[in-house]
Amino acid sequence: MKTPEERLNHFNACIESEVKIEPKDWMPDEYRKTMIRQLSQHAHSEVIGMQPEGNWVLRAPSLRAKKILLAKIQDEGGHGLYLYSAAETLGISRDEMIEQLHSGKAKYSSIFNYPALTWADIGAIGWLVDGAAIVNQISLQRTSYGPYSRAMVRICKEESFHQRQGYEIMTTMMNGTAEQKEMAQDAMNRWWWPSLMMFGPPDNESAHTKQSMQWKIKRESNDVLRQRFIDKTVDQAHFIGLTVPDKNMKFNESTQQYEISPIDWEEFKQVISGNGPCNHKRLSHHIKVHKQGKWVREAALAFSKNQQKNKATLFTN
């Protein structure tokens, strides 16, 4: 047995030398809490993120598009499950996490509180929202908690198809009729700023960044990741003729980076605190479906118990 001080030293030495923290390892309570908060928020985001896209499954413009969208939504569900499992290794149950989502104690990404109004939004979500998520998740592959890191590696492998399918939709529409181009630009206008907000508040206002960086839970700051996404994405937009909805954006020759106008953080705060266009809809839908599934879970458990009982009878006879 080690003393509390030896344990803390061992933990800090692991973090320092890039040795991953594993579920049964000792860790500071605050590390565990932070990790659970981040993992559950990430998992909830994947699952809630299925809703805006699910809205278009029955209206996809072709069978090809429908099959792709279904596969993408199934991936998002899978990603949620990898992340819930990783969170469960820290001692929180799946029920607790779902309860916290339903009570509002646990958050999910504010981006999914915006509606997917047209088919072009499915393109914009894949290209911009998944694109932003990929930038964040690539960085998180190096996070200090082993199960989170492994989930991120798996998720990153799958995400790049999501971004490409979104960009393909946008490209197709930009090569189409005037109405289709207008629709694509409209989706770009509505999703650009919320996508930038996905990286979280600016570094000097981010409540958790400093400690999370020390523990290597986060490897790069919100602003660094946001800038990386901007620099990648602006060129992709221009390539297919889309305009970035930011008149004052300029390219800085010396830093080789795009400088954007200030982000409307008031909107971010409003959406986070429950006043986005779809907050109520997303959550109440999740609660409703979860309740509807209750009898299925009960029946499955009852069936399993009966099977075991029958097996026991078989042996005793």
Partner 1 sequence: MSTTDNQLPLWEVFIQSKSGTPHKHAGSIHASDKNMALENARDIYTRRGEGRNIWVVLSDQIAASKTEDEAEFFDPADDKVYRHPSFYKVPDGVKNM
Residue 307 as a binder of partner 1 (CB under 8 A): the answer is yes
> Which listed residue (105, 303, 309, 312) binds partner 1 by CB under 8 A?
303
Given a contact cutoff of 8 angstroms between Cβ atoms, the answer to whether 31 and 91 are in contact is no
Given a contact cutoff of 8 angstroms between Cβ atoms, the answer to whether 122 and 116 are in contact is yes
Given a contact cutoff of 8 angstroms between Cβ atoms, the answer to whether 216 and 143 are in contact is yes
Residue 54 as a binder of partner 1 (CB under 8 A): the answer is no
**Interacting span for partner 1 (CB under 8 A) from 49-57, 217-225, 280-288, 300-308:** 300-308
Residue owning tokens 């209206």: 59
Given a contact cutoff of 8 angstroms between Cβ atoms, the answer to whether 20 and 220 are in contact is no
**In angstroms, what is the minimal distance from the CB of 316 to partner 1?**
21
Residue 309 as a binder of partner 1 (CB under 8 A): the answer is no
Range 7-14, long-range pairs (CB < 8 A, 24+ positions): 14/144
Map residues 19-38 to x or -, x wherever contact with partner 1 holds by CB under 8 A: ---x-xxx------------
Residue 53 as a binder of partner 1 (CB under 8 A): the answer is no
Nearest CA among 203, 139, 200, 147 for reference residue 32: 147
**Interacting span for partner 1 (CB under 8 A) from 36-44, 129-137, 279-287, 303-311:** 303-311
Nearest CA among 132, 198, 179, 130 for reference residue 158: 130
Residue 88 as a binder of partner 1 (CB under 8 A): the answer is yes
Residue 252 pairs in a beta bridge with: 257
d(CA 71, CA 66) in angstroms, rounded, equals 9
Nearest CA among 170, 187, 291 for reference residue 238: 170
> Which listed residue (151, 184, 196, 237) binds partner 1 by CB under 8 A?
151
Residue 10 as a binder of partner 1 (CB under 8 A): the answer is yes
d(CA 68, CA 64) in angstroms, rounded, equals 6
Map residues 237-276 to x or -, x wherever contact with partner 1 holds by CB under 8 A: ----------------------------------------
Given a contact cutoff of 8 angstroms between Cβ atoms, the answer to whether 10 and 2 are in contact is yes
> Which listed residue (81, 117, 156, 278) binds partner 1 by CB under 8 A?
81
**Interacting span for partner 1 (CB under 8 A) from 48-56, 186-194, 219-227, 294-302:** 294-302
Residue 297 as a binder of partner 1 (CB under 8 A): the answer is yes
**Interacting span for partner 1 (CB under 8 A) from 76-84, 204-212, 264-272, 279-287:** 76-84
d(CA 154, CA 283) in angstroms, rounded, equals 27
Residues in the chain: 317
Interaction site with partner 1 (CB under 8 A): 2, 7, 10, 22, 24-26, 71, 74-75, 78, 81-82, 85-86, 88, 93-96, 98, 150-151, 154, 158, 294, 297-298, 300-301, 303-304, 307
